């Protein structure tokens, strides 16, 4: 433990990864395990005093992060670049700090961010797969047409009032969102849906994907999907996609002290090579 009394401080930024499976989200909650709590405990263990850490996005229960960003203010007795090793030695195995660096005292992980990008993964093969299960929604009940999903996503680009995808319980005063990119891609049995926006409403991505699955099944047309959110018909959005398929992919800033290899596309993609049965050895 390091004595931190009467020391000048610096602001330290972190790039983090975590498996959300056993967390009740990012934000501290009494009697529940959260990412914020684990980080603050590890930092306090080093400094001998409580420290508050701020995240770029408040991921929900069970949601993963490939490149979450956070910051905290700490005494200068620890060089900023050393926090990555110090914290990784104290954190549980489902949280990893990829990098740490000093930033301006006015830089803020949440308020300095220009955008966040989330990826949702669906696995459509009927046979289950242990290695994909923790990070995807195993949806094989009906075939999904990714072209219909993409057609439904296209009108979302721009600034819209998305109250239809806003769960109850949020303290956010409005439901306006600037959506910058929205795309759906298929690779074999895997369908990924990625959305990049200035910010995300509470529960937005999981509600969005739950409704997009109806579009992919042909139960709802892309036109009716657009009409639903444009007319703010929240009562028709009844099902949220499971949490384990969702990952905070990355966060964008006008000034960021980390190179792209630290934070850009750090969630690996699964690839299923095509194998002809006749080519398998017996």
Active site residues: 60
Helices (H), the chain: 35-47, 83-88, 146-153, 204-217, 222-230, 260-263
Q: Are the C-beta atoms of residues 200 and 63 closer than 8 Å to each other?
A: no
Exposed (0-12), middle (13-18) or buried (19+): which is 5, by Cβ within 10 Å?
Answer: exposed
Q: Tell me the sheet residues that pair with 282.
A: none
Vertex 35 angle, CA 106 and 130, to 5°: 135
The full DSSP string for 22-57 is G-S-SS-BTTB--HHHHHHHHHHHHHSS----EES-
Q: Are the C-beta atoms of residues 70 and 100 closer than 8 Å to each other?
A: no
């Amino acid at each position: 433990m390091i004595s931190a009394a009467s020391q000048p401080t610096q602001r330290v930024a972190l790039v983090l990864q975590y498996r959300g499976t056993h967390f009740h989200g990012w934000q501290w909650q009494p009697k529940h395990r959260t990412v914020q709590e684990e980080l603050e405990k590890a930092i306090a263990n080093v400094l001998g005093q409580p420290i508050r850490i701020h995240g770029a996005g408040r991921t929900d229960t069970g949601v993963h992060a490939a490149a979450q960003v956070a910051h905290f203010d700490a005494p200068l007795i620890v060089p900023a670049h050393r926090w990555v090793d110090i914290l990784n030695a104290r954190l549980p195995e489902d949280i990893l700090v990829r990098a740490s660096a000093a930033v301006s005292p006015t830089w803020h992980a949440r308020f300095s961010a220009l955008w966040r990008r989330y990826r949702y993964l669906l696995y459509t093969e009927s046979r289950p797969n242990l290695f994909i299960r923790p990070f995807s929604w195993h949806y094989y009940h009906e075939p999904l047409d990714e072209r219909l999903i993409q057609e439904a996503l296209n009108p979302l680009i721009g600034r819209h009032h998305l109250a239809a995808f806003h769960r109850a319980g949020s303290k956010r005063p409005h439901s306006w969102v600037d959506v910058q990119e929205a795309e759906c891609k298929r690779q074999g049995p895997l369908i990924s849906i990625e959305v990049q926006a200035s910010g995300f409403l509470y529960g937005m991505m999981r509600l969005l994907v739950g409704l997009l699955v109806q579009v992919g099944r042909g139960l709802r047309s892309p036109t009716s999907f657009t009409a639903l959110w444009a007319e703010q018909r929240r009562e028709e959005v009844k099902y949220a996609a499971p949490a384990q398929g969702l990952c905070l992919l990355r966060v964008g800033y006008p000034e960021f002290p980390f190179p792209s290899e630290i934070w850009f596309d750090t969630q690996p993609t699964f690839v299923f090579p095509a194998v002809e049965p006749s080519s398998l050895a017996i």
